[in-house]
Structure 1
Amino acid sequence: MARYTDHDVEHYERPRKRTRPRTKDRPAHDDAVDGVVVTVDRGRYTLLIGDAVVTAMKARPLGRKGVVTGDRVRVVGDVSGVDGSLARIVEVTPRTTVLRRTADDDDPVERVLVSNASQLVVVTALADPEPRTGLIDRALVAAYDAGLSPLLCLTKSDLADPEVLLSTYRSLGVPWVVTQRGPDRTILGLEAVQERLAGEVSVLVGHSGVGKSTLVNALVPDAHRKIGHVNAVTGRGRHTSTSAVLLPLPDDWAGGGWIIDTPGIRSFGLAHVKPETLIEAFPDLDEMTEDCPRGCTHGEDEPECGLDVAITDGAADPDRVTSFRRLLAARSVTDY
């Protein structure tokens, strides 16, 4: 027998699911504390709050808003850092910079790698594995697009002369440091690297096997990052890092600073970078393109480009224009 008859009011007014009134009012979270995201692993976020290392989850009101390494966040809940405790991220504060990439050059989905960095350090080996300028160019493009200061870090200079590679990038004005392994497995040239990193939040990117983890372990002895090896057949390294990790530089450094170690990169899509954004990173060249035809990308094949006119008039350094156009072309180069 049915629970209600046609004459019962409840028959017509049965409660519906999810009819709980909703409100636009949100908790103020006046008790929230500030933290910084150290790393992200499968929906759990490791935060540094003062001297405590805290595990947290993302609050539901944040929705699909991503939280990445380097984010400064507001946190509520158990922030003691005790084993088994879990806090909740309720707000991501505005980011100062965002380093993005896409999986491929025709992928419309941008992926945020890290946030709030000030410097992008492109780590490349001079040999074993051989340097691949395609990735260097793409990383520089990403740095200029994100408003980060670029730095080239050339490792294994005991195996090859760095001048061959540096001559390619000198006209761009990109600063560089050179390191090599010493006889007692120390890194020679580490002091120059420390000077460049002091006071900065630096993102380290590079192919696997270029010595990035070795460099991180020398800079931050407590990091204990795994070190990979280069395949003798393919000439490529094996991934040893699986996620980006924010590491504070030692307290005895003048100026302090942070480094973000990222996994070895195999793809660095630049679908999100526009030519007009890239040229703005070179103010001296940008002002020479004011009279360019509408829609000019400033590439080599563009007719009546202001850069070509400037070269003819002697107002522009041909090597610098060539280097800029190589970066521009890197957006469509697939082998890197």
Structure 2
Amino acid sequence: MPEPLPPGSTIGILGGGQLGRMLSVAASRLGLKTQIYNDTPDAPAFDVAAASTVGAYEDASLLSDFAKRVDVVTCEFENVPAKALHVAGEIAPVFPPAKAFSVAQDRLAEKDFVSGLRIPVAPYAAVDNLGDLNKALARVGTPALLKTRRFGYDGKGQVAIHTQCEAETALEKIGAAPSLLEGIVPFQRELSVIAVRGQDGETRFYDVVENVHQGGILATSRVPASISDSVVFEARKIAGTIAEALNYVGVLCVEMFQREGEEPGLIVNEFAPRVHNSGHWTIDACRVSQFENHVRAICGWPLGDVSRHSNAVMTNLIGDDVEAWPALAAEPGLGLHLYGKAEARPGRKMGHVTRLTPKTSD
């Protein structure tokens, strides 16, 4: 876009989950409107958007009409079909670029892309059948994770393999889908970097986040992470390299492991071309949240301040955890964020809380 979108402009968001909801709230603070496109009528983002459309992501006609009503298009989840991005992109600017989604949607393409940038990743091999899997296990070793190449998130679409004899059963568990075998690397902590890159290439980084997962789902994110300055430098360098290679615009999350006993010892697990769960703490602990900065970037605005004013621990409310909302709402110093989902189910993210403490440097 040659000029920044002025207040009053409309952002089209493909996807209507909690990320679309929080993007819409952030946009409203800047005098911008949002329209949501979602394939089901119960999207949480519908509650806070100026307009909404229910339709299949394969419906080219409906998507085209949607794109004509907005000034820029973005996505709140990475598995938006390529056709939807192409249809929208024929009419309105789409950020982040389609390449970021095509790479992130396929775990094999993602690993090839990151390793092609000479960034360390876990050992991996493509798997299309049992023969491939047996060869991959001989090369990668065990323990390992067999992951579907597409549509895996929050621990879904993957199974652990501890011995060669488990290969056939593991392949059956993922429905014999095209897959990736990935070696399990011993690590001392999980980290993520939330970066934002503007249309002019300016890139800023939030403080590195230390994450804890339970059952494949993010449980907590904490800043600052318990890492040295050299690890912070390397983590940001890796995220910046990926963003630049993708000609990225918007917020990008890069998830990493720090190997045991190594400094900096970082390997990339995956990246997400969108605002991310491990960046939710920025709403309460930063002057400008990841959501506002994504809006700023895709609309061609100057990027906002990414510094934090407090230490923070973000905790997801999973399933029935949300039933504790009365006590949480009464807790001093706690930021409570509920996503407006009608039904609490096991493994479903219903909200999050952020607890702030005075800022320390490390």
Please give the TM-score of this superposition, normalised by the length of structure 1.
Answer: 0.31
Q: Which has the higher strand share?
A: 2
The structure that is helix-richer by fraction is: 2
Structure label with greater radius of gyration: 1
